[in-house]
Structure 1
Amino acid sequence: MQDYFNIPIKRIAKIPEIAELASVSTATVDRVLNDRKNVSASTRQRVLQAKAAIENGETPVPRSKPWRMKVFLPEDAGPSTAYLASCFQEVGAMGNATIECVFTRKMEPAVLARKLRNCIGQGIEAVAFQALDDPRVHDAVVELENYQIHTLALLSGIESKSVVGYVGIDNRAAGRTAGYLMGRMASGPGPIAILSGGQLYRSHEEREMGCRAILRREFPHNDVLATYSGNDDIDGNYEETLALLSRHPEIVGIYNVGGGNEGVVRALNESGHVSDIMLIGHNLTPKTQSYLLDGSMDAVIHQNMSRAAQKSVDALIASLNNKPIQPDILPVEIITKENIWGATFG
C-alpha cells in the first residue's frame, strides 16, 4: 500500500516573497496571480518566474522581456490542429513567451523548410513545429541551430540532433493500442485496412508499424492489407475508402492513422458498411465525438493538446535557459462512447 503520509507536499509561494524576488509590489503580484489587467508582459513574466522558482527551489534567470517563439502547424488539418493553436495562444497569454502560430501548406516540406529559415534575423528565439521527415526540413533545422534558434518537434518527431526534444505521444504505442482494440473488438476474422496521410509524418509510419506488429503477433486472423493514402484530408480519405471497399468488401476494420475521419465515415455510410466495419481514428474533437455517439466510429486514440502546448513551451524555455530537457511523452488516451462524458478535447 502506498504511504500517503510520505508524499512530499509542493511548497506554495507567498505573495510577499514573490514580490521581493521579482522586485515588484505585493499589489502587482496579486494582479498577476489573479490574472488582472494593467500589468506589462515583462512584469507578468518576472512574477511568474519568481513564483515558479520559489516553489521549485530554483533560481530564476533574469530576463527583461518574454521569449519570442513561433509555432508551425499544417493548415486545413482539422479541428484538433486549430484547437492546438488556440492552446498555444493561451500559454503565451501567461506572459513567459510571445507565441505566433503560423499555418503552413500541408505535406509541403519545401514550404515548411522555407518558413523555418524565415525565422532567422526576425528575433525569434525558439520554434516548435509539426515535423515533416524530409531532407530539406532537416537542413533548415540545422541552419536554425547555427543561429542559436532552438527547435522542438511537436506531435510528429524527426531524427535530428539539432532539435532540443519531442513533445507528443509514443506513436508506436498508439498504433499497438489501435491494433489491440481491432483484434479484440472486430466482428470476426478478416483483413484490416490502414489509412495513412503519406510518408512525410514519422508519427503516421510509427502508428502503422505498431498496429501491424500487434496484429501479426497476437491476432493473425486479422491480416493487414496494404497501406492506403488519402493524403490526410476528408476528400482523399472518402475516395480511397470507397475504392478500398470496392476491392476488399471482406474487410472488418479500418484504422485511420491521420486526419480526415469525416471522409471515411461518409464512405462507410454511403456503402452501407458503417455498422459492420470497425473504425478507429485519432484525436477527440466535436466531430469525432459525434461519430462515437452515433456508432460511426468505435474508438478514438487521443492526445491532450493543451498539455502538448504547455509542455512544448516549457521545454523550449528550459532549453533557452540552458537547463536539461527530459523527453516528455504524453499519455495515449482511449476514448469510446462509454467513457466520452467528462473527456476533454484538450
Structure 2
Amino acid sequence: MARPTIRDLATAAGVSPSTVNRVLAGSDKVREPTMQRVLDAARDIGFYGVGAIRSRVDAARPRDRFVVLLQQPGRQFYEAVAEHLRQAASAYEGRDIDLVLEFMNDLSPDRIADRMLDLGPRADALAVVTAEHPVVSAAIDRLTAMGTPVLALISPLTAQTSIGFVGLDSWKVGRTVGWFFENICREPGKIGVLVGSHRYRNQDMQESGFRSYLREHESGFTVLEPLPTFESTAIAREMTERLLTDHPDMAGLYVCGGGITGALAAIRGMGRSGTLRVIGYDLMDSTRGGLLDGTLTVVLAHPFARMARETLDSMVRMKTSDGTGGAESVLLSFDIYTRENI
C-alpha cells in the first residue's frame, strides 16, 4: 500500500493540506485542538510523520506549575485529596500540569505563611488548606501583588486582594447535620461538639449552621460548648472521653473537624457504640469501619474527584485571567453515607 500523504492526512483530519504543513513546521498559528485532531488522524492512517506531529502538539500545549499545600501527611483525608489531585492533573486535557503537592506537619500560621511565600513566586497559582489568620492574609496579599494567584481549598480564607475558594457550602453542611440529629435521635438530649479550631472558617460556619437549625426548629436539644481537637487524633480521643464521662446521658456527638479516628476509638472503648448518634465527615477506611460497626451514624463527605477537577479548573482560570478575574468561589455538593449505602 502507498504511504499516506499530507493530502491524505488533511482529508482524514478535516483540515487543509496547508494546515497540516503548518503543524509539521511547528507554526504557532495553528490552534492546539486542531493540532490534536491532526495528530489523532495521523495515528489512525499510519502517517509517517506522527512522531514529529506529536512533538509539535506537546510543544504547543500550555504548561502550568501549580502548588498545593495540604496538611499532615499520613492523614487519610489529605492523602485522598492528594491522590485525586494527581489523577486530575494527569488526565487534564489540553494542558501539561506540573503539580507540586506538599504536606505540612507544622500548622502554625507563621510556618504556613512562610512556606506560601517560599513556593508561591515559583508557581503559576497556589492552593492552600489553612486556618484564617492575619499573617496568612498578609502572605496572600503579597503573593497576589507578585502575580501569583491564591486559592483557598476546603476552608475559605480572606485577604484584601481577591482569593478563590473550592469547597463545601459549610453553612448548608451544618444545617444538614442539625436536621439529621433532629430526625435520628429517639428524643432530644445533649449533643457534644468537637472542632479542630475555630480559625478554620469552614468548621466555624458548620457549627454555626448546626446551631442555627436547632434554634430555628426549637428541637429541645442542648448543644454543649465545643471542645478543640487541634486536628489531633489523640486529643480528639481525650476530648471525647471527657464528654462521655462528664455527660453520660449525652445523646449525640458532632465531630466538626479533624480527629474522628480518635473520637471513634473513645466511643468504642467506653462501650457507647450504637447508643450514641455520631455524625462526622468524609468516607475513609476509619469512617467506613465506624459506619459498619454502628459507632458512626452518618458521614457527610467531600466529592473528592470533583473537588480535584474544580481545584485545577479554578487555578487555570486564575492563571489565565491576567488579573482581570478568575478568583471565584466554587461550592460543591456533598455526599451523604450511612451503613446502608457504602
Does the CA-based 8 Å contact 2:291-2:298 persist in structure 1?
Answer: yes
In structure 1, how many angstroms separate the alpha carbons of the residues matched to 2:125 and 2:55? Answer: 18
In structure 2, how many angstroms separate the alpha carbons of the residues matched to 1:257 and 1:43? Answer: 47
1:100 is aligned to 100
After superposition, what is the alpha-carbon deviation per residue over 1:135-175, rounded to whole angstroms, capped at 9, x for unaligned?
11011101101110010000000122434311000011111
In structure 2, how many angstroms separate the alpha carbons of the residues matched to 1:235 and 1:220? Answer: 32
One-letter amino acid of the counterpart of residue 100, structure 1: V
2:141 is aligned to 142
2:109 is aligned to 109
In structure 2, how many angstroms separate the alpha carbons of the residues matched to 1:112 and 1:284? Answer: 27
In structure 2, how many angstroms separate the alpha carbons of the residues matched to 1:324 and 1:130? Answer: 22
After superposition, what is the alpha-carbon deviation per residue over 1:174-212, rounded to whole angstroms, capped at 9, x for unaligned?
111111101110131211111001122111111111111
Q: TM-score, normalization: structure 2?
A: 0.82
1:67 to 54, 64, 69: 64
Change (3 A) 1:31 1:167: farther
1:291 is aligned to 290
Change (3 A) 1:191 1:44: farther
1:179 is aligned to 178
Change (3 A) 1:318 1:248: same
In structure 2, how many angstroms separate the alpha carbons of the residues matched to 1:39 and 1:222? Answer: 67
2:203 is aligned to 204
Q: TM-score, normalization: structure 1?
A: 0.81
After superposition, what is the alpha-carbon deviation per residue over 1:101-156, rounded to whole angstroms, capped at 9, x for unaligned?
011125311111000010254x3110011131011101110110111001000000
Change (3 A) 1:254 1:38: farther
Change (3 A) 1:44 1:169: farther
| Correspondence 1:89 to 2:86 | yes
One-letter amino acid of the counterpart of residue 192, structure 1: I
Does the CA-based 8 Å contact 1:129-1:153 persist in structure 2?
Answer: yes
Does the CA-based 8 Å contact 2:107-2:130 persist in structure 1?
Answer: no
1:236 is aligned to 235
One-letter amino acid of the counterpart of residue 68, structure 1: R
One-letter amino acid of the counterpart of residue 308, structure 1: M
1:328 is aligned to 330
SS in 1 for 2:211: helix
Q: Which runs of 5+ in 2 are unaligned?
A: 1-11, 24-29, 44-50
Change (3 A) 1:213 1:40: farther
| Correspondence 1:21 to 2:18 | no
Change (3 A) 1:40 1:157: farther
Does the CA-based 8 Å contact 2:125-2:318 persist in structure 1?
Answer: no
User: Percent identical across equivalent pairs?
Assistant: 23
2:300 is aligned to 301
Change (3 A) 1:197 1:160: same
Q: Where in structure 1 do 4 or more consecutive aligned residues deviate above 6 Å?
A: 37-42
Report deviation, 1:30: 6.6
In structure 1, how many angstroms separate the alpha carbons of the residues matched to 2:56 and 2:220? Answer: 60
Structure number with greater Rg is 2
One-letter amino acid of the counterpart of residue 136, structure 2: V
Does the CA-based 8 Å contact 2:282-2:300 persist in structure 1?
Answer: yes
Does the CA-based 8 Å contact 1:76-1:106 persist in structure 2?
Answer: no
Higher share in helix? 2
Structural RMSD (CA): 2.8
